[in-house]
Amino acid sequence: MASKLTLHWSPKSPYVRKVMVCAHELKLIDRLSLVRSVAAMLKPNPAIMAVNPLSKIPTLVLEDGSALFDSAVICEYLDDLAGGTLFPRTGEDRWQALRWHALGDGLLDALILWRNERERSVPLQPLLDAFDLKVRAALQVLDAEAEALMRAPFSIGPITVACALGYVDYRFDTLEWRTLAPRLANWNSEITKRPSFQATAPTDG
C-alpha cells in the first residue's frame, strides 16, 4: 500500500484548497491524511512550526518526516507524483499557467492582508484603499482574459484563479465581483462544477 502524506489542513484556507483540488484531480486524495491545523498570523502554531518554521498552511509532511511548503510546491509535488499535467512542461501553455498561478496567488495574498487590516480596531485607510484598488484591477484583468481561461488546458493556473474567486465569495461577498467581472463569473461557474471544486468549497467547520 502506498504511504500516507500528512497535510496540515483547514477548510477555510484557499491555499489549502488549491492542494485539495489538485489531489482530487490527480486521484491522490486517498493518500492524504488531513490534520486540522489553525494557522493565524498573530499566533504561530507549534505543531506546524515543528515541520515548517513559517507556521503556514498548507504544509505537507512526507513519509520520511520532511515537509513541503508552500501551496505552489505541494501542488507541483503532487502533480509529479501522479505523473499529471497540471503543470504544463513547455511552451505557451506553461507560461500562461504559471502566470495565472502567480496572479491567483497574488490576488489571494492581497485579499488576506486586506482582511487582516480591515479587522484591526483602527485600520489604516490608505492601505484598505490600496488593497481595494489592486483586487479590483486583478479582477478586471482576469475578466478580460476569461475567454483565454475558457480555452486553456485545465491546469494549476485556472485552479488557482478559481480558488481565489472562491475566497472572494467566502470573505468578500460585499465586493459583488460578478458585476465587476461578468465574463470571469461565467467561466468560474463552469469550472467550479468539477467534482474537485464541489468537494472543497470553503466552510467554517
CA dihedral angle for residue 63, residue 27, residue 198, residue 175, rounded to 10 degrees? 60
Among 9, 61, 70, 139, binds ligand GSH (CB under 6 A): 70
Q: Strand 59-61 to strand 67-68: parallel, antiparallel, or no bridges (unpaired)?
A: antiparallel
Cα 148 to Cα 163: distance, rounded to the nearest angstrom: 18
Give yes or no for residue 39 binding ligand GSH (CB under 6 A): yes
Phi, psi (deg, nearest 5) at residue 116:
-60, -45
Among 21, 52, 55, 104, binds ligand GSH (CB under 6 A): 55
Under the binding rule (CB under 6 A), the answer on residue 114 touching ligand GSH is no
Assess 58 for contact with ligand GSH (CB under 6 A).
yes
Number of residues in contact with ligand GSH, rule: CB under 6 A? 13
In terms of C-beta distances under 8 Å and separation of at least 24 residues, what long-range contacts does 62-70 make, across chains too?
Answer: 62/5, 63/3, 63/4, 63/5, 70/15
As given in the structure block, the three cell numbers for residue 158 are 485556472
Candidates 24-32, 69-77, 134-142, 151-159: pick the segment binding ligand GSH (CB under 6 A).
69-77
The residue range among 65-73, 82-90, 128-136, 141-149 that interacts with ligand GSH, by the rule CB under 6 A, is 65-73
Q: Judged by CB under 6 A, does residue 15 bind ligand GSH?
A: yes
Taking the complex as a whole, how short is the minimal distance between the CB of residue 75 and ligand GSH, in angstroms?
9
> Which cell numbers in the block locate residue 37?
491545523
The residue ranges that bind ligand GSH (CB under 6 A) are: 13, 15, 39-41, 55-58, 70-72, 105
